[in-house]
Amino acid sequence: MADRVDQAESWVLHTRPYRETSLLVDVFSREHGRLSLVARGGRRPQSSLRARLLAFQPLSLSWFGKGAVRTLHAAEWQGGLRDLAGGTLICGFYLNELLLRLLPPEDAHATLFDAYGATLRALVAGETPERCLRRFELVLLEEMGYAEPLHQTAAGAPIEAERRYCWRPETGLVETAGGDEDGSYAGAMLQALTAGDWSHPAVLQGSKLLMRALIAHHLGAGQLHTRQLLIDLNTL
Amino acid sequence: MNATASDLPEPLAALIDGLRALPGVGPKSAARMAFHLLQRDRSGATRLADGLRGALDRLIHCERCNSFSEAPVCGLCASPRRDARQLAVVEMPVDLNRIEETHGYSGLYFVLMGRLSPLDGIGPRELGLERLIRRALDGVTEEVILATNYTVEGEATAHYLGELLKSRGLKVTRIARGVPAGGELEHVDALTLAQALVDRKNY
């Protein structure tokens, strides 16, 4: 049957209650991209799906049907990954929110899928969360075709370590007239970012601001909930 | 039942529309419920109407535990037999009831009426976390027991509550998870077993 998919490597991004006893599950699968599945009876107390459809756990999912919402019929836990715990949980929610907001449905992105898994594993292993997130954001923007050329200016000039640059929507990187203009980035930071060298704290700090600007531009209207949550928690 | 909504008398249409507020009830179920109440169970319909009216008019949130109450402070919070040094934080009133059914806990509660759920836009402000912090800092509470669900949202909620309360000098504990009572390893799902191994304790 053409409308049947068996044992697709997947991650659960989000689950919501659906009708009386079912769950609506947003998943990200390696071969089929992001899609919505209904887990029938997934909220019944005795449902075996309930304990398996957890975010941040590697799953093998099978589903059938066509249209915007398919029906989940089997979920198997693949194991081998410990839970995201404590502060890294919000990093996981952030990754999921990015995928839900930026990834168009039913668009397979195997590279992004692998990067997602690698990011979760790195977070669980205790790697610096900022480094994991920046790496994932870069892959996401590249895979979405949003990658701005960060190794050269909009005019095509190479980035030089000693100069400073601004990023402008629709244009790209532009060299600043001079001095530490607000919102400008050091050339050395941009060079390290494109080379994937995160060893210097200034690179992490600078790339955080640049990634935030790039992502905000592509998200359009609406704040990221995960970012707002952290801001609100800090005021308590 | 072939009548369209515009053919129905206004009070009937309003009742059907009102019943659709219930979770999982669509137009067909709502119409079935309405006809059942009006034709076959008019006394039940009266009880339902009175019950709804009474609950709406008389229930408020207890100022201590945030659960539903008729008085400003609910019976449980006012009881002298409860141990005010322990405060269990649960997501919903139904969770409080489940813990009460165990007859194994004599402390007090705080009901969040939800959980942090970043992807649904439910954050500390929407949940009113500062009320819990004020409640826990009453000077009598010594231990806060985080009894939110073991879902990713419940875990995130527990983590941030833990951080906020620990930084204010309270002892914070989390309910345990693992193999269920009477559980045979052969039949326990793999994820639960994996977590039970991670959370193993000295014996």
- Which fold would CATH assign to domain A4-77? OB fold (Dihydrolipoamide Acetyltransferase, E2P) (2.40.50)
Task: Give the chain B residue nearest A59 (alpha carbons).
Answer: B191
User: Listing from the earlier edge strand, what are the strands of the sheet with A172-175?
Assistant: A172-175, A164-168, A184-186
CATH class of A87-232: mainly alpha
CA distance B155 to chain A (A): 8
The confidence score (pLDDT) of residue A151 equals 79
Instruction: Give the pLDDT mean for A19-48.
Output: 89
- The confidence score (pLDDT) of residue B137 equals 95
pLDDT above 90 for A69? no
- Taking the CA of residue B152 and the nearest CA in chain A, the distance in Å comes to 7
**Smallest Cα distance from B37 to chain A, Å:** 21
**Residue A217: per-residue pLDDT:** 87
Query: Looking at this predicted complex, what is its ipTM?
Result: 0.85
**Can you give the three-state secondary structure of chain B, one letter per residue?**
CCCCHHHCCHHHHHHHHHHCCCCCCCHHHHHHHHHHHHHCCHHHHHHHHHHHHHHHHHCEECCCCCCEECCCCCHHHHCCCCEEEEEEEECCHHHHHHHHHCCCCCEEEEECCCCCEHHHCECHHHHCHHHHHHHHCCCCCCEEEECCCCCHHHHHHHHHHHHHHHCCCCEEEECCCCCCCCCCHHHCCHHHHHHHHHCCCCC
The pTM score is: 0.87
Chain-chain contact of A89 with B121 (C-beta, under 8 angstroms):
no
Which pLDDT tens digit goes with each residue over A155-193? 888 888 888 888 888 888 888 876 666 778 888 888 888
- Nearest-Cα distance to chain A for B143, in Å, is 20
- For chain A, domain boundaries: 4-77, 87-232
Q: What percent of chain A has pLDDT over 70?
A: 96
pLDDT value for B5: 54
Residue B193 contacts A where some CB pair is shorter than 8 Å: no
- Per the rule left: phi > 0, alpha: psi between -120 and 50, beta: everything else, A12 is beta
**Is A79's Cβ below 8 Å from some Cβ in B?**
yes
Q: Comparing A204 with A235, which gets the higher pLDDT? A: A204
Name the one residue in this structure whose structure tokens are 């806060």. Answer: B144
* Alpha-carbon gap, residue B115 to B85, rounded angstroms: 24
The whole-number mean pLDDT for each consecutive block of 10 residues of chain B, a chain of 203 residues, reads 67 94 87 94 95 95 95 96 97 96 97 94 90 95 96 94 94 94 88 89 91
Distance CA B142, CA B76 (A): 18
Q: Do B191 and A82 touch (CB under 8 A)?
A: no
Burial class of B165 by CB neighbour count within 10 A (0 to 12, 13 to 18, 19+): buried
Q: Do B189 and A51 touch (CB under 8 A)?
A: yes
Identify the pLDDT of residue B83: 97
Determine, for residues A87 and B159 on separate chains, whether the beta-carbon distance falls below 8 Å.
Answer: yes
Mean pLDDT, residues A61-87: 88
| pLDDT grade for A1, boundaries at 50, 70 and 90 | very low
Residues of B in contact with A77 (CB under 8 A): 189-191
Mean pLDDT lowest for which of A60-69, A103-112, A175-184, B72-81?
A175-184
Cβ neighbors of A63 (< 8 A, separation 6 or more) are: A4, A5, A8, A37, A70, A71, A72, A73
User: Higher pLDDT residue, A222 or A189?
Assistant: A189
Most confident of A28-32, A75-79, A153-157: A28-32
Whole-number pLDDT of residue A13: 96
pLDDT value at position B56?
95
Burial class (CB in 10 A: 0-12, 13-18, 19+), A95: buried
